Chain A
Amino acid sequence: MSRFASGSRRVLSLALGVLGFVAVAAYGQTPPVNANAKALADFRTRIDAYAALHKKLEATLPALSKESTPQQIVGHQDNLAGLIAKERIAAKQGDLFTPAMQTMVRELMKQAFAHGDAKLLRASIMDENPGPVKLTINGKYPDTVPLTTMPTEVLKGLPPLPEGLEYRFVGETLILLDPHAHIIADFVPNALPKA
């Protein structure tokens, strides 16, 4: 029951739709490798590398047991966050979501909203949405701030993620949250389609 949503037909068709649009628009001068396909493949490589790093660092910590106390669990989370921040000390916004991928994410979100009831989807995401806050890569997602709801229609429209990463919204920014460490790995500003 990982976060890895394999075989999502919807995201595939949406991604192909975007790719098709781009391919048609550029007909006659299509490069050998479609730019969006490259962005998607590049994103996959980057998030897989992040997931591998996460796994490697977590393996250096004492494993949690079924008997772990809150102190041990919280300590584990804090230690993992510290290790990741140390290892990714130079990380900046756009390292995982490259500019090309950010453009694609915004387009995928538009597609997802076009397929669903945009008003309802937006209402669901904005329910207890913490609103615009300063986001920092490797920064702790505050435990006093609620998490936005991510509707199925929206998650179907985004590329699947490996274990240890999930999508959330903060205001209209789509963040990549590392829920084990409770830190922000990257984000895409203005990802939520306008009402």
Chain B
Amino acid sequence: MRRLTVVLLASAVSVGLIIGCQSLPGATPPPSETVTVAEQKPASPPTALPNRDGSLKFGVLGDFGTGSREQYQLAEQMVALHKRFPYELVALVGDNLYGSERPRDFETKFERPYKALLDANVKFYAALGNHDDAELQMNYKPFNMDGKHYYTFKAPKQDVRFFILESTYMNPEQVKWIEQELANSKEDWKIVYFHHPLYSSGNRHGSDVTLRETLEPLFIKYNVSIVLTGHDHLYERIKPQKGITHFLVGSGGQLRAGGSEPGLPFSAKIVDNIQVFMVAEIFENEMTFNAISRTGAIVDSGIVVRRELNAGVK
């Protein structure tokens, strides 16, 4: 039984270095502000997104719907990147709208900033966070939830299936549902996303250990390769945990000062002082990812190799 192989190529750590690398399809002009990251490692070029024909290209965004200037700036980066790296869907990991959720809020906090992407037929698939009004968002067509608290869909390209959970209300029925869906899934890549992180260096919330105790055994058993979450307002890549790579992308809107505790053993990379979204590309057995700030800097990158089909089932 082969264990997960993860190849995490070195992370980009300085703006100067990132500017020097022109390989990212959507790379933007030099950013005007300094980006620092919590984890400093020897500088090396970021991993370029291959941008292959036939690959699955997708974005990840969380905790974003504030209507703030920073949210709009990050959205501009997403739009700019899409012109050269045409991702077809965006996984929303919850807290999609902050504050009031009146009709105008859907416009100012979602439709306006991402208009160019919506017009380009990019599909957004939402998970619910603790700030989200489930009834409103489940029925909001652009979130593609089809009236459901939790759901699954097959990606339009490659052998990939996404599973979306409502982590604020993990009732026994939902646990049973995810187990059945994971067991029935024959796809090579199983990607699960929801709001609360199983692993997090965030000072505000941190790891949700009770949720981890419920979900992680299922993810291991049914060969999940990737888990995407938010909640803490930062970007964090977690070292593979029991074969599964976790990304926390709660960095789409408002940040919090002193957002993280550096040096926790599970943490591979933290960016907690600038808004960040993530894009990824899956082609056959590899997923290449970039985390991109609202100034256009690549603040993390690498390649994850999927867990072998059924490797976790025994």
Q: Interface on A for B, CB 8 Å cutoff?
A: 1-6, 8, 10, 64, 66-71, 73-74, 77, 116-117, 120-121, 124, 127-128, 143-144, 146-153, 155-156, 166, 179-182
Contact = CB atoms under 8 A, between A and B. Distances in A.
Contact of A66 (B141, B148, B209): B141
Given A3-B169, A149-B196, 18 more contacts: A64-B139, A66-B141, A70-B102, A70-B105, A70-B106, A71-B103, A73-B136, A73-B139, A74-B102, A74-B103, A120-B210, A143-B100, A149-B168, A150-B168, A151-B214, A166-B169, A179-B134, A180-B135
29 contacts: A1-B173, A3-B169, A3-B171, A3-B173, A5-B171, A6-B173, A8-B172, A10-B172, A64-B139, A68-B139, A68-B141, A70-B102, A70-B103, A70-B105, A117-B210, A121-B210, A124-B208, A128-B130, A143-B99, A143-B101, A143-B133, A149-B169, A149-B211, A152-B175, A152-B210, A152-B214, A155-B172, A156-B172, A180-B135
A21 B196 CA distance: 37
B135 to A, nearest CB: 5
Contact of B205 (A127, A147, A180): A127
B179 to A, nearest CB: 12
Interface of B: 99-103, 105-107, 130-131, 133-136, 139-141, 146, 148-151, 167-175, 177, 196, 205, 208-211, 214
B214 A144 contact: no
B99 A73 contact: no
Nearest to B99: A144
Contacts of B210: 116-117, 120-121, 124, 151-153
Contacts of A2: 173
A70 B175 CA distance: 30
A83 to B, nearest CB: 15
Interface majority SS (helix, strand, loop, mixed), chain A: loop
A147 B208 CA distance: 15
B101 A148 contact: no
A31 to B, nearest CB: 32
A62 to B, nearest CB: 13
A116 B211 CA distance: 12
Contacts of B101: 74, 143
A146 B195 CA distance: 13
Contacts of A152: 170-172, 175, 210-211, 214
A70 B136 contact: yes
